[in-house]
Amino acid sequence: MSSTGIEVDLQEIFQRYTFDNVCFLVLGFDPKCLSIEFPQLAHAKAFDQMEQSVFYRHVVPEICWKLQRWLQIGEEKKLSIAWKFYDEFLYQCISSKREEITRNKAQKMEEANFDLLTACIELEQEGGGEMDGSTKSNKFLRDMAFFLIGAGRDTISSGLTWFLWLVATHPSLEAKILQEMREHLLVNNEINWDMKEISKLVYLHAAICESLRLFPPIPFEHLYSIDSDVLPSGHPIGPHTKILYSPYAMGRTESIWGKDFLEFKPERWISEKGKIVHVPSYKFITFNAGPRTCLGKDMSFIQMKIVASTIIWNYCLRVVEAHPVLPKISIVLHMRHGLKVRVTKRDH
């Protein structure tokens, strides 16, 4: 892209990258969405369709989508088709993985890679759980894989897209990150791409937190009470009550973040001693809080830091002139028109 000077949609690149990445982590299978030809993969598209249909269920009255589901028309019909297709893809991955494990065991071969599916199946074979290769166990594995792919794909790609847009539009942010990298990672004129070293970059961490505050990948959450309860704020909740809360709105609330709540200010995350300020997760709600806090939080920071620092060090990003950057109304905070940029190789 940098040698030809053509524009590229960074959001699409990140979606392809995170889909490959999370499929490899969960299923041990690399769909290679990020290959240079940009293949249109049916299972990635099916996932997008499911996301769109789930959002639709949030905006139309329940009776409407339930009727559509019963009649198998409109958005609900699309959801059923995508769902069936995706299930078949996951069941196929599960049965191939079972065969591979049995074959490797018979040939006494060591596992080459780690993936969560292999770990779960091996646990089942050691008799460590209820899973016995039955329909129930395959369904459990399917649900686990489906959930983790959903949790790890669009969240990180959304986080990276908004962060790199901020980098591309705030020259001082870009300069400070580069300076921090020079100070901490440069050894004999070469960057030390060690994960532990990258994790120590305070300014980069603060800037990512600030970006996730203003642009939380999950902009709203939807909960449903089974029984009556009282919220920590003292508000009573009746049984069968829907509660919506919005990390997007909470990240932009003056009473939570102060007068400068709309400003992009990584400094608010850094103490006078140059350390990261601890902000309670009930305030910085992007990863949820309490017992249902995101399990991928640390992994997301590591991944975002590695990807962002590698790109920033090697390339200069410029948003294509007049490209409109707006949030898409969806269950994930995507950019409505993608993020069109031009990249140029950086000389150090």
Which residue positions form the known binding site for heme? Answer: 294
Q: How far is CA 279 from CA 89, 217, 256, 283, 298, in A?
A: 41, 18, 11, 7, 15
Contacts (Cβ under 8 Å, ≥6 apart) of 343: 1, 2, 8, 315, 316, 317, 318
To ligand HEM, the closest distance from the beta carbon of 15 in angstroms equals 13
Residues 7-46: x where in contact with ligand HEM by CB under 6 A, - otherwise, as a string: ---------------x------------------------
Question: CB-wise, 56 or 163, nearer to ligand HEM?
Answer: 163
45 touches 19 (CB < 8 A):
no
Told to check if 105 binds ligand HEM by CB under 6 A, we report no
User: Binding to ligand HEM by residue 186, rule CB under 6 A?
Assistant: no
Shortest separation between residue 52's beta carbon and ligand HEM, angstroms: 18
Residues in binding contact with ligand HEM, number by CB under 6 A: 19
Which one of 34, 76, 152, 335 is in contact with ligand HEM (CB under 6 A)? 152
Question: Segment near ligand HEM (CB under 6 A), from 166-174, 182-190, 216-224, 314-322?
Answer: 216-224
Least distance to ligand HEM, CB of residue 162, Å = 10
Please tell me the distance from the alpha carbon of residue 313 to that of residue 163, in angstroms, as a whole number. 15
Q: How far apart are CA 138 and CA 132, in angstroms?
A: 9
Residue 294 is a binding residue for ligand HEM (CB under 6 A): yes
Residue 208 CB, nearest approach to ligand HEM (Å): 9
Read out DSSP for 247-282? HHHHTT-HHHH-TTTTS--GGGGB-TTSSBPP--TT
Please give the single-letter amino acid code of residue 198. Answer: I
CB 193 within 8 A of CB 302: no
**Amino acid present at 300:** S
Distance in Å, CB of 209 to ligand HEM, minimum = 11
217 binds ligand HEM (CB under 6 A): yes
Helix (H, G, I), strand (E, B) or coil at 107: coil
> Which positions touch ligand HEM (CB under 6 A)?
22, 148, 151-152, 155-156, 159, 217-218, 221, 286-288, 292, 294-296, 299-300
